[in-house]
Chains A and B, each alone.
Chain A
Amino acid sequence: MKSEPNTPGQEVPVSAPVMVDLRLSVNRDSYPITVDTRETLLDTLRERLDLTGAKKGCDHGQCGACTVLVDGRRMKACLALTVTLDDREITTVEGLADGDTPHPLQAAFIENDAFQCGYCTPGQLCSAVGMLAEASAGWPSSVTADVTGEPRLDDEEIRERMSGNLCRCGAYVNIVAAIGQVAR
């Protein structure tokens, strides 16, 4: 990875943006790109790569609308600096479907009417994909009665594990139902 020289005594002026060349892998496509070190993954996806599925809600890591998968794990794209992700595989909501066939969670969200305005949905979907993988791997949660045992993914578990995704329309009941349908 190339970056600006930062030898002592030769610092770039603090006012000048620091640009870095890197290769970003998103939905199995590779993008050579020059980014400002301040750029978050969310801004890179939306403003540079025209992948506008991930949404900017709070921009503070609190709402989950920007959730994407990084090496299969759900993360908040608004808190991830793009410059740190050059060798990671990123999956956004645009990469969940298999061609024209929706991902099972996408199909379940439609079937269960698991949204109203839809703004939080891409984040809900990516978060649910990551969450189901975590549960399959046996990860406990804060509501798992015995952290040494195997968790059972009931509605209470789904609600706790999805607490990083807010829905201002309040479609939670149907979101939990859609995820539960895929989990069981």
Chain B
Amino acid sequence: MRPFDYRRAEDARSAVAALDERPDAMYLGGGTNLVDLMRLGVASPEMLVDVTRISSSAIEESADGGLLIGAGVRNSDLACDPLVRLRHPMLAESVLAGASGQIRNMATVGGNLLQRTRCSYFQDISKPCNKRQPGSGCPAREGDHRNLAIIGHSSDCVATHPSDMAVALAALGAIVHVEGRRGSRTVPMPGLHRLPGDEPDRDTVLEAGDLITAVEVPALSFATRSHYRKVRDRASFAFAVVSVAAALDVADGVVRDCRIALGGVAHVPWRAEIAEEALRGSAATATEFTRAADLELAQARPLRDNGFKVPLARNVLVRTLIDLTEAS
């Protein structure tokens, strides 16, 4: 690992100023991904700016019934928060579905959003990877891509975004608060993460030096009936093969409104807008759920070895919607 300077930021402004001074610096949250990437030689910052002590480790209720989650909130504290569990159960469930107890105690909300893909070629510096080293090529397209993207990938990159939490936040339409060189601004989800295109090295729309300070979850009354369902290769402590975050508002057998996002299928947490649109006003039946899922997944372009993800995503989505309907 390359030697680096360490500085502890007292507040967001000074953290941003520190990165402005030192362009090769990076922010350090819980370190569960970054420290590992530094050890692997994938990341080699000249300075780490520790942002875990800046005063944004609280979950506050906003006036309209939404939540403002500080970027420094640990994943565990988000998942066990009584308001999150009551109002946005799929958010608590998504966090609990990720990593292990020890890692959730360390990882922060901001860092969770900005974690890098677990594509094996990205993490192996002896292999080409357009995300790690632009222009070097993408061995995953012809190589091991069983667990990589089926939607929205490009000739340059077929990586998936690994976060579970981000899938629930994309479904909930979260708003990411960002402090940058030119002041503060907000970025909506979906919209924070970007498709790879010909710049797969850019995971998000954030610019150099931007710091996530909080994540706002707008009030959504029917999110009390929501669920995160994750399929993985073993029962626990594994990344998603496919996952679904869904909230459903059903009255008199008709879908009044819904929010759906898919994980493990794309370079971004994939908001299923086509399926949502198809479902609004339709009967809350397995037939309609399947029709909506098929419409969404018609845009899938699976690779040689991950075609199974298309029916898997459809089945998991349909099952999740049936369960939510039966629970209502």
Residues of A within 8 A of B (CB): 1, 3-4, 6, 8, 11-12, 14-18, 20, 36-38, 40, 59-62, 64, 67, 73-76, 79-81, 83-84, 127, 130-131, 134, 137-142, 144, 147-148, 159-165
Contact = CB atoms under 8 A, between A and B. Distances in A.
30 contacts: A4-B5, A6-B22, A8-B22, A12-B3, A12-B5, A14-B46, A60-B36, A61-B102, A74-B101, A76-B102, A79-B103, A79-B106, A84-B52, A130-B102, A130-B105, A131-B101, A134-B76, A138-B80, A140-B79, A140-B92, A142-B93, A142-B97, A144-B96, A147-B89, A147-B93, A147-B96, A163-B235, A163-B237, A164-B102, A164-B103
A163 B100 contact: yes
A36 B85 contact: no
Secondary structure of the B contact surface, majority rule: mixed
- Best-surrounded residue of A14, A67, A84, A134 (most CB of chain B within 10 A): A84
Chain B CB within 10 Å — which of A64, A73, A127 has the most?
A73
A64 B100 contact: yes
B276 to A, nearest CB: 23
B68 to A, nearest CB: 21
B100 to A, nearest CB: 3
Contacts of B46: 11, 14
Contact of B236 (A37, A147, A160): A160
B260 to A, nearest CB: 19
A73 B101 CA distance: 10
Contacts of B28: 81, 84
Contacts, number: 134
Contacts of A15: 3
A94 B21 CA distance: 43
Interface in B83-112: 85-86, 89, 92-93, 96-97, 99-103, 105-106
Contacts of A161: 101
A21 to B, nearest CB: 12
B97 A76 contact: no
B129 to A, nearest CB: 18
A64 B52 CA distance: 23
Given A6-B5, A11-B5, A142-B96, A80 B101 contact: no
A14 B7 contact: no
B106 A37 contact: no
Contacts of B31: 79-81, 84
Q: Give the 3 A-B residue pairs with the shortest CB-CB distance, closest first.
A: A164-B100, A163-B236, A139-B80
A60 B36 CA distance: 6
B182 interface: no
A115 B64 CA distance: 52
Interface in B1-47: 1-8, 21-22, 28, 30-32, 35-36, 38-39, 46-47
Interface in B227-270: 235-237
